[in-house]
Structure 1
């Protein structure tokens, strides 16, 4: 098939089946790259690209699931991996619109489409960055510069603020090159490496929705150093003006209008208005939308702010594990077990290997120190902790780094860490993660307040006499100093408001009522609770 002929490509587009997204993706790649190489008449080239946009958006999104759900090291995203194919196609589309604009500058057949060509180019250059955010990979050099160049070309040609029709913009159905540029800036401000796939999809959509309420201005003098600015001749996104050199290429970013809009949306939620009717989408609830908007209010609508708890540079090694059972083992010093009678305890311990790898755990000499005994047994059971490098820390968490291979981690996963010189393992939420281009993994962890204890939990059965086994969980005691109440950390999807759960803490057992979910992660639910016997009963 001759992919250099626009008529042939248009006919093929009519036959593509988006549900077979891999085959469709390959066909779209051949179409886009074939026309880019052939450089047909600008109007015919543009017709094909515009006809392909909706299918492109769908199949690229389907391809992105491969790396958005479970972040992987850079090596697994190269050599024909899904990320490389998606990014290559977005780059080819952006170059195609730039090529059409260059050709039309000579031929003058698309005078009324020049603003559209500028907007499309900025839009697709921005999508390249978004894919790296999805994959939790460090941005390669030059990506931001490509976005800036596309925007600067639109400004130089007087096209930056001209709105054009864009069916992919779900709210406005139109967008200017400047609004596409601002949407890319907003995506970076939203802490993209701290978002899962679903939240990042919302962020990207909402950035398109709220971009018209932001402005870019050349007047930077007299503004606070914390005000955001952008160097359009650089290779990075928004930065506080205090960190940027005063050059003619620096613009001031003003999101005050966006702050007002976010306040208005939150007020609408309180009146019962749905996210879909406010242009936020029909795949998000009012409560989850409100939480996300609140987290975006300051970076999007105000200015840069210092950390609540400043980080302190600190070097050293730290014990780290993301395995649920290994966390419990490191805290308690033994594998989680079901309650057994005294007469069966020895048999259970003797056969504990049957619950792991089918091989008997070697008996450790009693003269060995307790720490060495535990380390040896942890290694035999596959429950040992990895050693990570501590980069810095604050009151609430740590920034860590791991070189080389290790266990695979998911965003917002429960992990266990043992800080240097600490005896007790703490549990923490993996709040963000990013792979550097050399394969080094950097993560931020927020420690859950309190010293955790391992407990057994099971849901009360609806049928009398029916009992399910206990499952490992963790209890965090109340901390008056941190003004936190006690909490249970349960396996995922366990929380249900007012559910009664039986908790076994050592030899003690009690029933508790689950009250409120405090945090929901990839593999855990942290929730508040109250013992059933302590509930206030009506007189």
Structure 2
């Protein structure tokens, strides 16, 4: 392993640096990473000239990208608390991206006197913006709030490229999977596109796809300095602020503001979705060999409006509100909290056979079949070892809550269904986790989107030729139609149950059958679908067939 104190300022040729890079394969990821940081931080103090330093940087890019991916995979699967073991890994990854962007920036300053080296300005600007953007993306990946000044640094690099007149100059970039080239403004737009996708609400795979697609689609977008009319639904950018794009209606028109135009991208996405319907694979459209259907199509559909159309106005206004919410993540416990009683399958004579054995011992005197309500379901849930966490409300709307938790609690995941009871509510509602983010002080922030309607717990099981009357029932939930919110009646089933036209047996006092019609939402542990009732005549005809 290299000496930890070594800075590599004694390396005197490009070939010596390349040899160092080639030897990294003998080290593990952590050792390789530490070596790369020391190499970059010592490079600009070396006797090499600007052209040679640039050659070293370009030679190192692919290796750096690979090692950074290996390191970041340690924390990308779940939101990373600031005091966790892998927090140091995040800091190391950010340090290397920062060192790389700084190296390119200093080359632009140090080599500015050479007319020949000025030809490299577009490349230096593109690389600097790209790696400053990677710092922000790394915080998205870890589900941590971006550090103060991160966005301002990217804006400043873009403005410098603009003043130099090189923003539209494309340079070769072998790491760009689709185009193998990129301009400084395309690198800038790619970061803005990622930020528009609710990155704190994405899992590891989705964010990887989004980052790749942002590179692919950036050339179809433009940042306008002048436009004919002000569209309040458009996205705008104030380069003096420490954030990305915001709806113009939210920030207002300001001097020097830029306007984002993605209408050409909207046409591209529509064309791709049409290709999917014809059976075209995502890989053949340049989306990546690891992109699978239908997950790829669902993600692309969700990006259509923020990327290609306009800022969606908030359907229901948010209001500040203080108070606490009780949140539960376990499916069985949620059912108990919603119904106030134990879940007992309708075919309980088989499921609870031992209970009926008691009837024989007592000479036929039947035990009470009624399932009593619990006086306090929350006490019963905790008595059984299920977690019930308290979250503080930050603000809320009709469609959901923004909540925070300052203390450790049960693990909560993106797109997971939870049971939630607000402090001013008397019953548990169903919600889906739409995003998660840790603040620097360790506070976990979450967005909870409510599934419209007051849930009713029911028993469900699939039907078909391979299903017998002895097969077990699972727990599900019915949600009524809410006309005022344009929300149809739906059923919430365990994850993976939805298939269009699947017939499900539903038991909520009386058995009946329903046919699933369309998928409303799919999370990590649930499917929410619309349905229609299957008539007795239809069932009889189907059985006869």
- TM (norm. structure 1) is 0.84
Seen in structure 2, the aligned counterparts of structure 1 residues 425 and 478 have a Cα distance that, compared at 3 Å, is same
Aligned to 1:73: 81
Among 177, 181, 192, the alignment partner of 2:188 is 181
Aligned to 2:101: 94
Matched, 1:61 2:69: yes
Unaligned runs of 5+ in 1: 349-365
Who is 1:431 aligned against?
434
User: C-alpha deviations, 1:457-499, integer Å up to 9, x for none?
Assistant: 5567987879665444434355566565554433333445566
Report the equivalent of 1:525: 527
CA distance in 2 between partners of 1:197 and 1:20 (Å): 23
Q: 2:58 aligns with which of 25, 50, 54?
A: 50
- Equivalence for 1:358: none
Q: CA distance change for structure 1 residues 499 and 248 in 2, over 3 Å: closer, same or farther?
A: closer
- Give me the whole-angstrom Cα distance separating, in 2, the residues matched to 1:333 and 1:15: 64
Structure 2 CA distance for partners of 1:9 and 1:455, relative to 1, 3 Å: farther
Q: Return the offset for 1:415.
A: 0.6
Q: Deviations over 1:253-281 (max 9, x none)?
A: 22233233333333433444333232222
Aligned to 1:301: 308
Would you say how many aligned residue pairs link Structure 1 and Structure 2?
A: 517
Q: Which residue is 1:408 aligned to?
A: 411
Cα gap change, 1:443/1:347 in structure 2, threshold over 3 Å: closer, same or farther?
A: farther
Q: Is the 8 A contact 1:43 1:109 kept in 2?
A: no
Inter-partner Cα distance in structure 2 for 1:25 and 1:499: 51
Question: 1:134: how far off?
Answer: 1.7
Q: Are residues 1:445 and 2:452 paired?
A: no
The answer on whether the counterparts of 2:455 and 2:477 sit within 8 Å (CA) in structure 1 is: yes
- 1:252-401 aligned at under 5 Å gives the runs 252-285=259-292, 287-336=294-343, 340-341=348-349, 344-345=354-355, 371=375, 373-383=376-386, 385-401=388-404
Distance 1:477 1:17, change over 3 A: farther
What is residue 492 of structure 2 aligned with on the other side?
Answer: 489
Match for residue 362 of structure 2? Answer: none
Q: Deviations over 1:427-476 (max 9, x none)?
A: 11111222222222222222223332334455679878796654444343
Q: Take 2:115 and 2:311, find their aligned partners in 1: how far apart are those partners?
A: 44
- The answer as to whether partners of 2:337 and 2:378 remain within 8 angstroms in 1 is no
Q: Post-superposition shift, 1:303? A: 3.1
Matches within 5 A, 1:14-29: 14-17=22-25, 21-29=29-37
CA RMSD of aligned residues (A): 3.5
In 2, Cα distance between the equivalents of 1:285 and 1:472?
30
Query: Aligned partners of 1:36, 1:77: CA distance in 2, in Å?
Result: 32
- For residues 533 and 248 of structure 2, the distance between their equivalents in structure 1, rounded to whole angstroms, comes to 52
Contact 1:411 1:433 in 2 (8 A): yes
- For residue 421 of structure 1, what is the aligned residue in structure 2? 424
Correspondence 1:110-259 to 2 at 5 A: 110-219=117-226, 222-241=229-248, 244=251, 249-259=256-266
> Residues 430 and 446 of structure 1 are in contact (CA less than 8 Å); yes or no, is this contact kept in structure 2?
yes
**Secondary structure at 2:73's aligned position in 1?**
helix
* Contact 2:171 2:181 (8 Å CA) reproduced: yes
1:17-57 CA-partner distances (Å, limit 9, x unpaired): 49954444344334333425547432232222222222322
* In 1: Cα distance, 2:493 partner to 2:432 partner: 13
Structure 1 residue 243: deviation in Å?
5.2
Match of 2:368 in 1: none
CA distance in 1, matches of 2:522, 2:490: 13
**Bigger mean CA deviation after superposition, 284-293 or 435-444:** 284-293
SS in 2 for 1:74: coil
Shift of 1:90: 1.0
Give yes or no for the alignment of 1:31 onto 2:31: no
- SS for the counterpart of 1:318 is strand
Change (3 A) 1:347 1:323: farther
Note if contact 2:336-2:377 (Cα within 8 Å) is conserved in structure 1.
Answer: no
Q: Deviations over 1:315-348 (max 9, x none)?
A: 3222211222321221233454566557744999
SS at match of 1:75: coil
**CA distance 1:256–1:337, change in 2 (3 Å):** same
Contact 1:459-1:468 within 8 A present in 2 as well: no
Q: Say if 1:39 and 1:45, in contact at 8 Å, map to a contact too.
A: no
Instruction: Give, in whole Å, the separation in 2 of the partners of 1:325 and 1:454.
Output: 11
Unaligned runs of 5+ in 2: 359-371
